[in-house]
Structure 1
C-alpha cells in the first residue's frame, strides 16, 4: 500500500479500518526493530494517540528513525495520521481501543468507587440534556401512534427488546423490527405508515446498514425517536427526535446504565400520559396473569 493511501481509504471507504488490521498485513515482513514497535502498538492500540513518535519509540526501545520507517511502511504520510486513526477507533467504541495502559486504582474499593462515579456522571449528563424538553411530546406521540416499532442491532437490540417489554404492559401493537429471524427489513418498512412510530436504538458500534434503514423509514413518514450516543453523526438526520446518551467509560466495554435508565423513564412517562387507557390495558394483563397462574 503506497504512502498516504491509508488516509484516503479511511476517509472514503464505508468500512472502518483499524490500526491492528493494517499492522497484521505487514507484520511478517517487518524488520526486528519495527516488529518491536508493532508489538508495543498492538498491546494497547488506543493509547497511540497519547504519545509522540519519539515517546513511542522510547517505550518500544527503538530509534525514532525506525518509528518513522514503520509508519511509512504501513502507508501513513506521517505519525499524526496514525494517531488520528487510533482516536477514530476509540470513538468508534472498539473494546480493544478502550483499554488503557494506565492502571486503575489498586484496591477493589477504589476501583468500585471510580466505576460508580463514572456511572453517575453518565446518568447526570443524560438527565441534564436539553433535548429532554420534548419528552412530553414524544410520550404523547407514543400513546397516539397506531403501532410502535423498535429497532436495534447488537447491544442496542437487547435495549430495544427491553423497551418493548415495558410498552406492551400498557398499550397494544408494539413490535420489534424485524420480528422473526430470517426476515428482511424491507417487508416491514414497506408496511409502515405515517401514523406509526419507530424507536431506533443505535449506540456505538453501529452497523453499516442502519443509516440506509433509517433513511427508508423516514421516507414512510413514520416519525423516528433515535436513542443514541454522542458519537452519532449522519444517522441523526433521519430522526424527528434524537436523544444522545453517554456510554463511554475508562473501563473496558461501554456502559449502558444511563441508556437503560432513560428507556425505563420513557416507558414510565408514556404510561402516565396514556391515562385510563394505559391503566385499563395493564389491569387486563394482570387479571389474565392471575387466571393463568403464571407467577409464583
Structure 2
C-alpha cells in the first residue's frame, strides 16, 4: 500500500505554491485528515476545490476520497500516523488524557453487560488457561498471565520464546480456555490459528481493536477495544485496564480460593527469599 507522505515527498518539487500549501497541511494533519471532506480541506488550506482535485490527481489518486480511504485503512491497521502537536482544542497532553478518559468509558460499558460475567465464570471453571499474544499484544498477554496465575493454577503464556504453537495446542480441549490477544498488525497466520482453535472446539476469548472485522470469525467471546490516540501511536491503557478488571473479577468470583492461593505464593516468597518483603525504611 502506498504511503501518501512518501508520494508527496516524491512530487513536492513539482507542485505549485498552492498545492505545496495543501501538501504541507496534509503532512501536518495526517491523523485528522480522514475526517475531512474536500470542501473542508480547501477551506483549511485557503484554496479551491479544483486545486485539491488537481493535487490528488498529480499524486496518483483518482480523488481526495480515495486518498482519505487509504489513510483510514492505514490507521485502522495500526500504522503510526503522526498528528499535529497542537490544535485549537488544547495541547497534545490535554488531548491525550481527554482521549484516554473517553476510552475508559468503554470498559465501564462492558462491565454493564453479561459478557464479562460469562468470561469470569469460564476463567474460573477452565481446566487450563492459555494466553496468546503476538507483537504489541505480547506485553498485555504477559501481564494477564501474571495476574491470573496468582488467582488460579494452570495458566500458560504461549508460545514460549523460540518455540512454535502446534505442540502446545495439541493437548488443549473444550474444557480449557484460550485468551487470544490480537491487536493491530497481526501476524499473517493469525486467522488460521483462530480458525484452528475453534474447529477443535476450544473456547476462545478474543481481545482486539475496535472495528477489527474479526467478528466474522465467530470467536466464543470477543472484546473490541478502542486503541486510537490523538497522534501516531496506539494506546494500550485500555487493554491493561481491562486485564486488571478481569483479574479482579475472577478473584472476587472465587474469593476464598483466590486468597488461599495468594497466601500460598506469599509464603513461598518468604521461604525462597526471591523478593525483598521487608517494608522497613532505613
TM-score tier, shorter chain, comes to: 0.7 to 0.9
Output aligned runs, 1:188-203, within 5 Å: 188-203=168-183
Q: CA deviation at 1:163?
A: 0.4
Q: Note the 1:10-49 alignment, pairs <5 A.
A: 17-23=2-8, 27=10, 31-33=14-16, 38-49=23-34
Question: Which moves more between the two structures, 145-154 or 228-237?
Answer: 228-237
Query: 2:252 matched to which residue of 1?
Result: 272
Residue number in structure 2 paired with 1:169: 150
8 Å CA contact retained: 1:131, 1:243: no
Give ranges in structure 2 of 5+ residues lacking alignment: 277-282
What is the aligned partner in structure 1 of residue 87 from structure 2? Answer: 102
1:209 aligns with 189
Given candidates 75, 78, 82, the residue that maps to 1:90 is 75
1:260 aligns with one of 225, 234, 240:
240
Cα distance, 1:118–1:172 mapped onto 2, change above 3 Å: same
Cα distance, 1:155 vs structure 2: 2.3
Asked if the contact 2:82–2:231 (Cα under 8 Å) also holds between the matched residues in 1, the reply is no
Q: CA deviation at 1:150?
A: 0.9
**What's the CA shift for 1:23?**
4.8
Q: Note the alpha carbon deviations across 1:234-286, whole angstroms, 9 max, x for none.
A: 25633111122232332443332222122111111112233444333322211
SS in 2 for 1:201: strand
Which blocks of at least 5 consecutive residues in structure 1 are unaligned? Answer: 1-15
CA-atom RMSD, angstroms? Answer: 3.2
1:219 paired residue number: 199
Alpha-carbon shift at residue 31 of structure 1 (Å):
2.3
User: What secondary structure, in the 3-state scheme, does the structure 2 residue paired with 1:254 have?
Assistant: coil
- SS of the equivalent of 2:87 reads coil
1:185 matched residue in structure 2: 165
> How many corresponding residue pairs?
274
Match of 2:279 in 1: none
Distance 1:208 1:144, change over 3 A: same
CA displacement at 1:227 relative to structure 2? 1.9
Q: Hey, what does 2:214 align to over in structure 1?
A: 234
* 1-structure distance, mates of 2:77, 2:86: 19
Q: Corresponding residue for 1:143?
A: 124
How far apart, in 2, do the equivalents of 1:178 and 1:21 lie?
Answer: 37
Question: Residues 148-170 of structure 1, C-alpha deviation per residue, up to 9 Å, x if partnerless?
Answer: 11112222210110000001112
What is the alpha-carbon distance in structure 2 between the residues aligned to residue 133 and residue 191 of structure 1? 30
Higher relative helix content: 1
Scaled by the length of structure 2, the TM-score of the pair is 0.80
Supply the distance in 2 between the matched residues of 1:100 and 1:89 (Cα, whole angstroms): 20
Q: For residues 268 and 54 of structure 1, do their structure 2 counterparts lie closer, same or farther at Cα, with a shift above 3 Å needed?
A: closer
TM-score, with structure 1 as normaliser = 0.77
Contact 2:206 2:219 in 1 (8 A): yes
C-alpha distance in structure 1 between counterparts of 2:97 and 2:34, whole Å: 27
- Alpha carbons of 1:216 and 1:83: their partners in 2 closer, same or farther (altered >3 Å)? same
Distance in 2, matches of 1:236 and 1:280, equals 41
Once the two structures are superposed, residues 97-140 of structure 1 have per-residue CA deviations (whole angstroms, 9 ceiling, x without a partner) of 5546735525x9xx44x544332322222212377313222122
**Cα 1:208–1:60, aligned 2, differ >3 Å: closer, same or farther?**
farther
Q: Describe the superposition over 1:81-107 as per-residue Cα deviations: whole angstroms up to 9, x where unpaired.
A: 11222233333343325546735525x
